[in-house]
Structure 1
Amino acid sequence: MAFDADKATLGRRGLLAGGGALGLAGALAACGNGDESGAESENESTGPWEFTDDQPVTSELDSTPTKLVAYTGMAAALYDFGVEVPAVFGPTTNEDGSPTGQAGDLPVADLEVFGNTYGEFDVEAYASWGPEVLLTHFYFDPATLWYIPEESKEDITGLAEVVALSADDGANTQDQIIARHAELAESLGADLESDQNTANKEAYDAAVAALTAAAAANPVTVLACSAAAEIFYASNPATGNDMRFFTELGVNFVVPDNLDEATGSYFENLSWENADKYPADILFLDARVQALQPDALTEFPTWNALPAVQEGQIVAWEAEPMYSYGLAAKSIQALADAITNAKKLV
């Protein structure tokens, strides 16, 4: 089975120096009320604009904002709904310049990128660019904004309106989160009834129906997992908004019995010697850039010995899900196809 994952290694570099509060004030003064040299959005700017996010905070502007700066995954979702997002932060490009999985169909070569890795955010460039709205996710705690470095959070959030959507509250599902992104996109000018959005929603609904049917017709066992050099992670399906949704649809996930409570019970740490602890017909393998992919796992004997590996029953798992109908449809359909075609191995 084909497996698609980003060909890159996640790095951790220090925050790109901003220049402090005085430097930021000077940068804003230099750019006035909007730097015309910044990337321009094609969104129609009509006002007034108002949106209540999941913090919950209501943002208001005199007109619909076009100078949007978004976390890459959120930008990809908005772009798929038809909203131009000219600037991003977060994993956007691989080392070879190709888009990461989180970037979806974004035209990455045309974007302003204020940080491409965790902990990296060029505050001075962001200030000079003149943002109107900063958009990102949060997990559980609204005060912890995704990919916003804590040490420069105050400087960053003080420069523009901040809109944050919940990517995980312990109970919400991918389906519900996509709906919230659709509401945000519509507020920013997206036409949810356009031909493209209608087609994307139809594809999504078809994929959801296909996954529901596949899970009922072929109730194979699926292990959500992630691979690192020293550890094989068996993931807890209750802690992922996508897996909560897929469980509702009938997918039979393995539930690890020795979860690591110290890190939030997201997974069980398994040594490679014990990678076969949980028999599974399908491996739902983390496809993010920081996780090892099948071509890098062939040197692990216990990986090669897993029945699902020997049968080629591996499907890429977007462990950070996509939050638009068009993008999500692809991964949901891939899982549906994998379950439909899987042999019962355990």
Structure 2
Amino acid sequence: MSLSALPRRDFLAAGLGLMFGLTACGGGSGTTPAAPGASAASPGAGPWTFTDDRGKKIDLPARPSRIVAQVGAAAALWDFGIRPIGVFGPHKLKDGGKDPQVGEVDITKVESLGNVWDEFNVEKYISLQPELLISGMYDDKALWYVPEKSSATIEQVAPTLGVRQTGRSLPEIIGKYAEVAAALGADANAPGVAAAKTRFETASKALVTPEIAKLKVMIMAGGPESLWVASPADHPDVRYFKELGLDVVVPEKVDQGGFWQTLSWENADTYPADVILTDARAQSMQAEEMKKKPTFADLPAVKAGQVYPWLAEQRYSYQGYADVLERLHAALAASKKV
């Protein structure tokens, strides 16, 4: 299967999941505290209306409280104070631990409808009596991780709300999730949310120092036969890093589906870099495995120990990206030209 042949909506999951033999499974438990100062939504009196990024107007007799969300959307909304009753998409690792993609969501307190691509338990979804389903979108129509084979049935059970996660800036996407959360009854001025926004803004300003600006950074993902270099134009976070002054590698020949340039491991040295950020999602090849590829192990950044984790799917909240920016700054500050 060729990455460039995939539809845009399938590109990230299939390209960096199914091609690697995605085998995440359920099980395990863990408790994660809620975001400080967050307030859960409650049903509101009177009609509720919202128009999503598909231009779809949702009309309900009251503000919905029984919400099911794809894990990326669930994690973002959780940070803004919304507590979904069910999630779908990667949230449990092989060892039963919590997948980083689900953020601060307490997976012991939500129902799991599916943990891998193309898995969605429609019967369990119906049994939850949901009032709204929320998911991100990587094109103008398809909801992320909602299987096409089940989409018609899912749409009949409850209204769906899509948030577009491409073609807009990182702060704009975070702002959209904040808007959705506020519409669902969250307190936009909750102390925890305000503190997270301040952290995000401070970390943004502090990310690139004059020394860090001298570093060339390649952001990538790896698989058994190929590696993929991230295109800033399609990854809002990579684009944001670049806008803040980070010298990010821009691939010259982006694949037809966007998001990446596919390279063979023999061509791992196509783009010189002082620092390499590798996709740390469970479905991607991890950095230690990549180092078994001789052409990767020989790269100057790898020899210098300047390889750091990056999640190609991070939750779009101030808290989520404050964490990302602070960790990235610490890693870059400890790096040098090679």
After TM superposition, the structure 1 = structure 2 runs for residues 132-211 of structure 1, keeping only pairs within 5 Å, are 132-142=131-141, 144-168=142-166, 171-211=167-207
Letter in 2 for 1:279: P
- Residues of 1 paired with 2:137 and 2:253: CA distance? 27
Q: 1:340 to 1:277 in 2, by over 3 A?
A: same
Q: Aligned pair 1:325/2:324, yes or no?
A: no
The residue aligned with 1:95 is: 94
Partner of 2:330: 337
Offset of residue 268 of structure 1: 2.2
1:112-131 superposed matches below 5 A: 112-131=111-130
Rounded to whole Å, the distance in 1 between the matches of 2:102 and 2:232 is: 24
Residue 283 of structure 1 is matched in structure 2 by 276
Write out aligned runs for 1:1-346 (5 A): 10-11=22-23, 43-48=41-46, 49-142=48-141, 144-168=142-166, 171-211=167-207, 213-214=208-209, 218-261=213-256, 264-345=257-338
Amino acid at match of 1:150: E
Instruction: Quote the offset at 1:298 in angstroms.
Output: 3.0
Aligned to 2:108, the other structure's residue is in SS state helix
Q: What is the TM-score of this pair, normalised by structure 2?
A: 0.85
Measure, in 1, the Cα distance between the counterparts of 2:231 and 2:191: 38
* d(CA) in 2 for partners of 1:266, 1:130: 36
SS at match of 1:223: strand
Aligned-residue sequence identity (percent) comes to 37
Contact residue 87 and residue 111 of structure 2 kept, 8 A? yes
Highest Rg: 1 or 2? 1
Unaligned 5+ residue runs, structure 2?
Answer: 1-19, 26-38
CA contact (8 A) 2:278 2:309 kept: yes
Deviation at 1:185, TM superposition (A): 0.7
User: How far apart are residue 63 of structure 1 and its match?
Assistant: 2.1
Cα pair 1:174 1:321 within 8 Å, conserved: no
Q: CA deviation at 1:294?
A: 1.7
Structure 1 position 10, deviation (Å): 2.3
Q: Is the CA contact (8 Å cut-off) linking 1:10 and 1:290 kept in structure 2?
A: yes
8 Å Cα contact 2:24-2:92 kept in structure 1:
no
Partner deviation per Cα, 1:282-308 (whole Å, 9 max, x = no partner): 111111111111222232222221111
- The answer as to whether partners of 1:12 and 1:119 remain within 8 angstroms in 2 is no
**Residues 236-274 of structure 1: CA deviation (Å, up to 9, x unaligned):** 22121111222211111112223322xx23322222222
Aligned equivalents of 2:170 and 2:23: distance in 1? Answer: 27
- Specify the SS of the correspondent of 2:127: helix
State the partner residue of 1:33: none
Structure-2 separation of matches of 1:343 and 1:44: 50
Query: Cα RMSD between the aligned structures?
Result: 2.0
Secondary structure of residue in 2 paired with 1:218: helix
CA deviation digits over 1:82-104, x for unaligned, max 9? 11111111111112221112100
Gaps of 5+ in 1: 1-7, 14-40
Whether contact under 8 Å (2:226, 2:263) holds in the other structure is yes
**TM-score, structure 1 as length reference:** 0.83
Residues 53/102 of structure 1: CA separation in 2 closer, same or farther (3 Å cut): same
Rounded Cα–Cα distance in structure 2 between residues aligned with 1:259 and 1:141: 20
2: CA distance between counterparts of 1:265 and 1:89?
Answer: 25
SS of 1:214's equivalent in the other structure is coil
